[in-house]
Chain A
Amino acid sequence: MLGVYDFCGHYEWTFEWLRQRGGDSLVRAYWDEAIHQDAQTHASELILKKGFKGMQEYWGHTLAEEAAEYFTTATDKVFRIDMHECPSKGFLIRNGLEQYRDYCDHCMGWTGPLLKRGKFVVDHQHNHRGQCWWEIRKETDMTSASAPGQLAGHEDVRLRPDWKPSGKPMDTYKRANDSDDKSSKADCSKPGS
């Protein structure tokens, strides 16, 4: 039986299984069709109906269930997540599992199409160590991503001494809702600057 205890392991393995058969387009289709439009229909219902409040409800439940170390900031204009210990990337790192080139892309892969339906855009960075941040705004709101500490105070993951990874690029999305809209830089520049 396939179980949920090690779900992130076979989930990540599946990305590469699909990529070898249908290329990156099949992996993107998987995140959109299987995860966004099938598995996570409860997320769509909450976020499309309730907007930022729905995001708080959805990620409050799901990240707690997965035992994440995270902090959220919600206003009527932005929803921010500071992920200090991503439970799924942490599982992969601890168990030495890395089949697909960037597991972290799956988050934008399924939330991107959902947020696009809700006319939201995302500023996001992940450091490939199980740490990331997200700021979600309405696409009509042209506000740039916040400076470190501006929205989340001392909970801002960018203030961690280990935020900038060595030997791994920092992946950055600006006003995005597509997993291909990222840039990877070894030397991350601060957003909003």
Chain B
Amino acid sequence: MNEGAPDMNDLKEQILPYRDSKPVGAPDFYLAINATFRFILNKYGAEGLRQYWADLGTRYFAPVSAAWTKRGLPGVAAYWEAFFKAEPGAQVEVKLSSDCVILDVTVCPAIKHLREHGREIIPRFCEHCYFVGEATAVPAGLTVRIEGGNGTCRQTFCRRDSNLPDQNLAKIKEASC
């Protein structure tokens, strides 16, 4: 991040649309997120699960899209800085350049917690970062590409006119314990 960036606590107040009174989320909720994906996958199949993720992006995360529209890529970087600061156990580097924001996730907090608790992770777990992220990004004129997964990945947010190749889902690794 640029020098002179605001204090992270102030950043969270300004950037995250839904704010809690505690600084970091409860990690056991990752168990429920994984279970929710499994439930919807079992009921509605892969397309139903992708629709759920897309609906989350366009509806629940609509305030995030609005903020990204207003603030552009610096707003995207600020959001992810604040977001991962509030996720327990996350190790992520956020890099802002003139044409994109890159998230280098060295420790995914969700995969880490699910593994520590011996939970069966749905293989498609890491796809949610693409489908939720893309649905959030599109209204702001942005797009995301993801490479890796299963605990570490790179997520790149760029303007939609940057002519990135389409997301290759085969580049998103299946998750496992």
Contact = CB atoms under 8 A, between A and B. Distances in A.
B52 A1 contact: no
A6 B25 contact: yes
A7 interface: yes
Interface in B9-60: 16, 18-22, 24-36, 38-40, 43-44, 52, 55-56, 59-60
B18 A95 contact: yes
Given A4-B30, A4-B88, A7-B26, A38 B35 contact: yes
Contacts of A33: 39
Contact of B60 (A13, A26, A35): A13
A97 interface: yes
In which size bucket is the chain A interface?
A: 35 or more
B32 A95 contact: no
Given A2-B33, A17-B55, A30 B39 contact: yes
A35 B37 CA distance: 11
Interface string A41-58: 010000000000000000
Interface string B83-122: 1001110000000000000000000111000000100000
Main SS class of interface, A: helix
A10 B83 CA distance: 15
B21 A65 contact: no
B56 A13 contact: yes
Nearest to B105: A1
B129 interface: yes
Given A30-B39, A34-B35, A38-B39, 19 more contacts: A1-B108, A3-B83, A4-B29, A4-B87, A4-B110, A5-B20, A5-B83, A7-B25, A9-B18, A10-B56, A11-B32, A13-B56, A18-B40, A30-B36, A34-B39, A39-B31, A39-B36, A62-B28, A97-B18
Interface of B: 16, 18-22, 24-36, 38-40, 43-44, 52, 55-56, 59-60, 83, 86-88, 108-110, 117, 128-129, 132-133
